[in-house]
Chain A
């Protein structure tokens, strides 16, 4: 017999040396979830407005706000770090609930709020996002002009 049955002195020393490290690795909490993207609010507003516009029968507004939502979602997805083994497509698209009594006035108010929301962000976001955010803001102002 050439093979040894008892662990070698070197193996025991090595095991003792890494034991605290292994224990530490097992007890550390997973890294906190990344902060929500600053465009998430705009994305939610765009989806809600699209649903409201559809309920009111303002097809043009619904189409425009849907396009805003798509562009914003694409930018949020691009910037969100991918976690291995996690598929983003598994999460269903949230369907915003429409208010019980949808009116054109409510839609105009929502669009004005969205314009302001995007305008506040447009002066703060990094340059590569400023164009999109500013265009959404100007787009909401245009939609208000088209409705009134």
Chain B
């Protein structure tokens, strides 16, 4: 397995946890969906840290803060930030899949990729973005 790819995935999960915390103040309408996403990313972050320790690596700590692509100041920009972190997570987990033959790690990475892709779709639906579903989540051009 590739420790660097897994560290990248962990970094994406740290960013997602931080961003879900940031946007919660701006999204009242889908508070349940925000809470669900935040919990999912926290759980994934913990799992990833454990996988890294099991491989004898030191999990990288989160950054003090993250910069969303556009400043978050209302529901629209908050959802845009969520779509970005979910897509980043998709790309990072696809990177793990492409760099390991470990069946369990592949299963776990596929699960993370799929769940992030589905959440990205949900947020794109809420924002009215088309197409609603990205055909190949985790692909650089997707």
Contacts and interface: CB of A to CB of B under 8 A. Distances in A.
Contacts of B142: 135
A68 B136 contact: yes
A138 B137 contact: yes
Contacts of A128: 98
**How big is chain A's contact interface, by range?**
20 to 34
A127 B118 CA distance: 23
A contact face: mostly helix, strand, loop, or mixed: helix
Interface string B63-98: 000000000000000000000000000100011011
Contact of A141 (B94, B118, B131): B118
Nearest to B95: A131
Nearest to B122: A145
B135 interface: yes
A21 interface: no
Interface string A73-99: 000000000000000000000000000
A106 B113 CA distance: 25
A138 B117 contact: yes
Q: Most chain-B CB neighbours within 10 Å: which of A71, A122, A124?
A: A122
B106 interface: yes
A60 B130 contact: yes
A115 to B, nearest CB: 8
A139 B136 contact: yes
Given A64-B133, A122-B106, A123-B107, A138 B98 contact: no
B117 A139 contact: yes
Interface in B115-142: 116-118, 120-122, 125, 130-139, 142
Interface of A: 60-61, 63-64, 67-68, 71, 115, 119, 122-124, 127-128, 130-132, 134-139, 141-143, 145-146
Interface of B: 90, 94-95, 97-101, 103, 106-107, 109-110, 113-114, 116-118, 120-122, 125, 130-139, 142
19 contacts: A60-B130, A60-B131, A64-B133, A119-B114, A123-B103, A127-B97, A131-B98, A132-B136, A134-B94, A134-B97, A134-B106, A135-B136, A137-B110, A137-B114, A138-B110, A139-B135, A141-B117, A142-B121, A143-B133
Given A134-B113, A138-B137, A142-B121, 9 more contacts: A60-B130, A63-B135, A127-B100, A131-B95, A131-B97, A138-B90, A138-B116, A138-B138, A145-B133
